[in-house]
Structure 1
Amino acid sequence: MNADRSPSSHSTRPTLFLDVMLGKLTTYLRMCGYDAASARDRGIEDDDEILKQSQEEDRTLITRDEQLSERAENGVLLTSLDPTDQLRELDARGFDLSLSDPARCSSCNGTLVPERGKSPDHAPDGKRIWRCEDCGKRFWKGSHWESVERTLSDLKR
């Protein structure tokens, strides 16, 4: 990883491209504020196409595929099958895995903006709501957020 794109700096976080094997990890990284594109979301399974997309978009490729990782100019190889262990691997590499206010849509990777006006009927009263500019989904810090927060805090143990 290039030194000027250190994952521990919020202002210079790398943009990421995750291969199809890393769906749950993608969600975690988006909840940590990373711009994390997914080959799965784009319907791309071919290694050559994954590599091409990550390079064209100047994204760090995160993969479990050793051969694909070796071909990438800017790649991170993960060895674990378990998403929590994958997070540990990224944490050990200096990725900032902390939650702040929601910034990226966990579904489509779009940018979240504070919701203005009336909250949807299914949203808890008094919760701050964010809306995805791309897909329109709404988010708030609920039980899922708390579960992810616990998982991330347990990484250091």
Structure 2
Amino acid sequence: MPGAWFAFHPDLWMLLPHARRREVFWLDFQGHQSLKHLIESLGVPHTEVGEVRRNGQPVGLSRTPAEGDRIEVFPAEPQSLPIPPRFVLDNHLGRLAAYLRMLGYDSLYRNDFADEELAQIAVQQERILLTRDRRLLMRKGIQYGHWVRSQNPREQVAEVVRRFCLNHRQGAFQRCLRCNTPLEAVSKESVLEQLEPLTRLYYDEFHRCPSCGQVYWKGSHYERMLDLIENLPGV
């Protein structure tokens, strides 16, 4: 059976089976299998792959290796994509979705998305798929995506900002955290009945979601969110 030598950058080792987490290993393959197929068969989604070299020369993932080739696989570098930074997130990333909305990014999320639905939305609407499910990123047609490493929401949003070079200070606080709809500035009088007594007393600037009706103002929660934004990695 033909095979080739594979060397993955250490940043990708966490995605490989334990037995493959070493500098160089031999991989058998059958027929004309593409590098994309072989790399994903080892557990590394193509969205996590940057440059690939065959015998020292950069090649595309559609290329097929030959007997005895040496394949080097490097991680995807931080990059700005040629599409608007819009996201769709899997069922485990609700807090991350809220944080991305806080930063002003169009981020679709439901806690009952089926995998097929997530993949269709990502492809048809050209959204970046964010997920903790590596196999979901390997589905046919997925072009833009990221396997979220951390399980901590604050670390997750920093990870996404860094990965896609997001300008996270440009459009903050312009989108509803609950339903993703852009907010509208409203007068205090128009939302007075929705406010607690102390909020009525101390705050005068308000925004409301035209979809779900949620009202926002710059209370103590606003200061906490500002602190999160200021501690995110720069772009």
Q: Which residue of 2 aligns with 1:90?
A: 160
**In the alignment, is the contact (CA less than 8 A) between 1:17 and 1:62 conserved in 2?**
yes
Q: Which residue of 2 aligns with 1:3?
A: 81
CA distance in 2, matches of 1:133, 1:77: 33
Mean Cα deviation higher: 48-57 or 115-124 = 115-124
CA distance in 2, matches of 1:101, 1:86: 17
Offset, 1:92:
1.9
> Which stretches in structure 1 are left out of the alignment for 5+ residues?
6-12
CA-based RMSD of the aligned residues comes to 2.2
Offset, 1:57:
2.3
> Which stretches in structure 2 are left out of the alignment for 5+ residues?
1-78
CA distance in 1, matches of 2:145, 2:172: 27
From 179, 184, 205, give the equivalent of 1:113.
184
Q: Which residue of 1 aligns with 2:219?
A: 142
**In the alignment, is the contact (CA less than 8 A) between 1:78 and 1:89 conserved in 2?**
yes
Check if 1:75 corresponds to 2:152.
no
CA distance in 1, matches of 2:233, 2:127: 27
Which amino acid is the alignment partner of residue 37 of structure 1? L
**In the alignment, is the contact (CA less than 8 A) between 2:85 and 2:128 conserved in 1?**
yes
Offset, 1:151:
1.9
Which amino acid is the alignment partner of residue 153 of structure 1? E
Offset, 1:55:
1.9
Q: Which residue of 1 aligns with 2:134?
A: 66
How many residue pairs match? The answer is 147
**In the alignment, is the contact (CA less than 8 A) between 1:37 and 1:109 conserved in 2?**
yes
From 125, 128, 132, give the equivalent of 2:209.
132
Which amino acid is the alignment partner of residue 26 of structure 1? A
SS at match of 1:17: strand
- Judged with a 3 Å threshold, the aligned counterparts in structure 2 of structure 1 residues 156 and 102 are, in CA distance, closer, same or farther, namely closer
CA distance in 2, matches of 1:151, 1:21: 21
Which amino acid is the alignment partner of residue 52 of structure 1? Q
Mean Cα deviation higher: 143-152 or 127-136 = 143-152
Q: Which has the higher strand share?
A: 2
**In the alignment, is the contact (CA less than 8 A) between 2:188 and 2:205 conserved in 1?**
no
SS at match of 2:130: strand
Check if 1:52 corresponds to 2:120.
yes
CA distance in 2, matches of 1:146, 1:21: 26
- Judged with a 3 Å threshold, the aligned counterparts in structure 2 of structure 1 residues 66 and 101 are, in CA distance, closer, same or farther, namely closer
**In the alignment, is the contact (CA less than 8 A) between 1:17 and 1:39 conserved in 2?**
no
- TM-score, normalising length from structure 1? 0.82
- Judged with a 3 Å threshold, the aligned counterparts in structure 2 of structure 1 residues 102 and 156 are, in CA distance, closer, same or farther, namely closer
